[in-house]
Amino acid sequence: MSQVLGGQPIIILKEGTTQTRGQEALGNNIAAANAVANAVRSTLGPRGMDKMLVSGIGDIVITNDGATIVDEMDIEHPAAKMMVEIAKTQDQEAGDGTTTAVVLAGELLSEAQKLVADSVHPTVIAAGYQLAAGRASAFLDSIAKSVGPSDTALLRRIAMTAMTGKGAEVAMDQFADMIVRAIGMVVEEDGTVDPDFVKVEKKVGGSFDDSVLVEGIVLIKERVHPAMPKRVENARILLLNVPIEYRKPESNAKIRLTAPGQEQAFIENDERMSREIAEKVIRTGANVILSQKGIDDLAQHHLAKAGILAVRRLKTSDLKRLARATGASIMTTLDDIQPESLGYAGLVEERIMAADEVIVVERCQNPRAVTILLHGGTEHAVDELERAVHDAVRVVGVVVEDGKYVVGGGAPEIALARDLREFAVTIGGREQLAVEAFARALEAIPRTIAENAGIDPVDALVALRAAHEAGDRSAGIDILSGEASDMEALGIVEPLRVKKQAIASATEAAVMILRIDDIIASSKEQGSEGEAAGDY
């Protein structure tokens, strides 16, 4: 890039930097963002297809989950990366609706491109989109319905809607029931839900039917020493984030053994120190020790002799859950452990589940941290089941927390589009065009759900519009008949937050991309030639 000043070009950017401006820049960005939207489009809805993703080292993931797909794709282009961000934000905030958010952002940008071609300035479109998004959010609030934590039938339907199309169909009732019970056990008194306290653990082996909800915590671990008890009732549990081991003090001084027997003395000293450390732990009165860190061989031996069941190298997340379920404190030092620091569980037991050892911590006084242990015949099946259950756990948590839901199946998008068209005429000017474009973009959701289910998208849209026109705001796509049906009656229901967040994050990304009219890209660091920045 150079500027001319008094006839002399002034170079302000490093050599190799490329610059793309105006419509060309916007066109590039939109094309890249749309490429991401197109990659997930065919997975949307209950009849969406799966994607097989093969990594550079040959690992295979088969999924229908938008967040997983964009996460696994190796994306370089900055505008495309924004689309990945949308999926991530959506997943974090609402736990579901990632594909919807990405597809919607792509549609908003395609619509914007048409308006730009008609000489509507991108800033005007951005402003119109923001107006529309604000209106949409308020409208969704106005059509949302209430659901309480004890409304388990409805909560189960919400779980099932989130799992539809994700390979969990065969045993969906069973999973929905487990998920709703699990959330019911971890909900706080103030009504908030931390979905991390529903642990979803998976094991290859057995079938989906072998999956269980454990009112407590399942650790995919074994006890550290075979001489330890397999089963401890009335467990007094010590949680550690510190190793049980004797480390010789480090020193550079060399010790010269001068007399016979001295070597033996050193070994004995080590053994004594090690025993003292183990005894410190034993004196706490704990009969179960669950540690995030290691336990050395000698300590294992002493603990086993004392009849203690010990497990080592646990994940931080598991330790936190254990603390919550058992009431134990996580100790970071072995000195000064008080009886109050120990937790309680009615039973800690090493068990075989689908041919593998696991440690189960259950009968806690107040479970408040539970595990859904999934089984399935193959790794890919269990992985996809885990993603479906994960989404459903999040979604039920979200809806219990917010107490608000909307119907699905494209019904809210159609209702929103209608409302936005009415709203658009009150705005006038060019922003009106943007609000109308926003309405069309929303209709892409039911259109795509229909298309992916093998239903003629134009017919579907016409039928839906007519039903809404006639006052049926719950009319969405019945994927079996292809007709407009009452989604409430079919039990296709979703958390309000999923829809609101999808619109908010899609709009945010579209607006951000629309405002960019200048791409200045530095040349890549050496070592990656051939991938020049001008490649987008």
Asked about 118 being catalytic, the answer comes back as no
Write each residue from 87 to 126 as x if it is in contact with Mg ion (CB under 5 A), else as -, in one continuous string.
---------x------------------------------
| 41 vs 321 by CB, closer to ligand ADP | 41
β partners of residue 52: 62
Q: Pull the structure tokens for residue 489.
A: 């009656």
Report whether 311 contacts 292 (CB < 8 A). Answer: no
Report whether 445 contacts 100 (CB < 8 A). Answer: yes
Candidates 37, 224, 415, 492: give the one binding ligand ADP (CB under 6 A).
492
Residue 336's alpha-carbon distances to 219, 232, 420, 450, in angstroms, are 27, 24, 65, 64
Q: Name the minimum Å distance from CB 387 to Mg ion.
A: 10
140 binds, among ligand ADP, Mg ion, none (CB under 5 to 8 A by kind): none
d(CA 89, CA 507): 13
- Name which of residues 439 to 458 contact ligand ADP (CB under 6 A): 445, 449
Helix (H, G, I), strand (E, B) or coil at 194: coil
Asked about 284 being catalytic, the answer comes back as no
Look at the block and give the residue holding tokens 């200048």. 518
384 contributes a contact to Mg ion by CB under 5 A:
no
- Residue ranges with strand state E in 367-483: 370-376, 404-407, 475-477
Stretch that binds ligand ADP, among 11-19, 320-328, 402-410, 417-425 (CB under 6 A): 402-410
Asked about 391 being catalytic, the answer comes back as yes
Residues 6 or more apart whose Cβ sits within 8 Å of residue 18:
519, 520, 521, 523, 532, 533, 534
Q: Name the minimum Å distance from CB 47 to ligand ADP.
A: 8
Q: Name the minimum Å distance from CB 530 to ligand ADP.
A: 35
**Catalytic residue selected from 89, 98, 100, 507:** 98
Candidates 29, 34, 99, 501: give the one binding ligand ADP (CB under 6 A).
99
d(CA 460, CA 102): 22
H/E stretch holding 523 reads none
Q: Name the minimum Å distance from CB 137 to ligand ADP.
A: 17
Asked about 89 being catalytic, the answer comes back as no
- Name which of residues 30 to 89 contact ligand ADP (CB under 6 A): 43-46, 48, 66
| 96 vs 472 by CB, closer to Mg ion | 96
Report whether 438 contacts 124 (CB < 8 A). Answer: no
100 contributes a contact to ligand ADP by CB under 6 A:
yes
Residue 86's alpha-carbon distances to 37, 234, 264, 320, 510, in angstroms, are 11, 47, 65, 29, 10
397 binds, among Mg ion, ligand ADP, none (CB under 5 to 8 A by kind): none
409 binds, among ligand ADP, Mg ion, none (CB under 5 to 8 A by kind): ligand ADP
Neighbours of 57 (CB within 10 A): 5
| Angle, CA 405 vertex, CA 445 and CA 448 arms, to 5° | 10
**Catalytic residue selected from 50, 91, 391, 419:** 391
The strand pair at 288-291 and 231-240 is best described as: parallel
CA-closest candidate to residue 237, choices 182, 184, 176, 308: 308
Q: Name the minimum Å distance from CB 468 to ligand ADP.
A: 15
CA-closest candidate to residue 274, choices 292, 252, 296: 296
Residues in binding contact with ligand ADP, number by CB under 6 A:
24
Q: Name the minimum Å distance from CB 164 to ligand ADP.
A: 4
d(CA 339, CA 311): 20
Write each residue from 146 to 175 as x if it is in contact with ligand ADP (CB under 6 A), else as -, in one continuous string.
---------------x--xx----------
Candidates 20, 29, 63, 98: give the one binding ligand ADP (CB under 6 A).
98
- Name which of residues 315 to 374 contact ligand ADP (CB under 6 A): none
Residue nearest to Mg ion (CB): 96
**Catalytic residue selected from 99, 100, 164, 371:** 99
Q: Name the minimum Å distance from CB 65 to Mg ion.
A: 8
**Catalytic residue selected from 65, 296, 318, 402:** 65
CA-closest candidate to residue 419, choices 439, 404, 405: 439
Active site residues: 65, 98-99, 391
Q: Which residues bind ligand ADP (CB under 6 A)?
A: 43-46, 48, 66, 96-100, 161, 164-165, 408-410, 445, 449, 476-477, 479, 492, 494
Q: Which residues bind Mg ion (CB under 5 A)?
A: 96
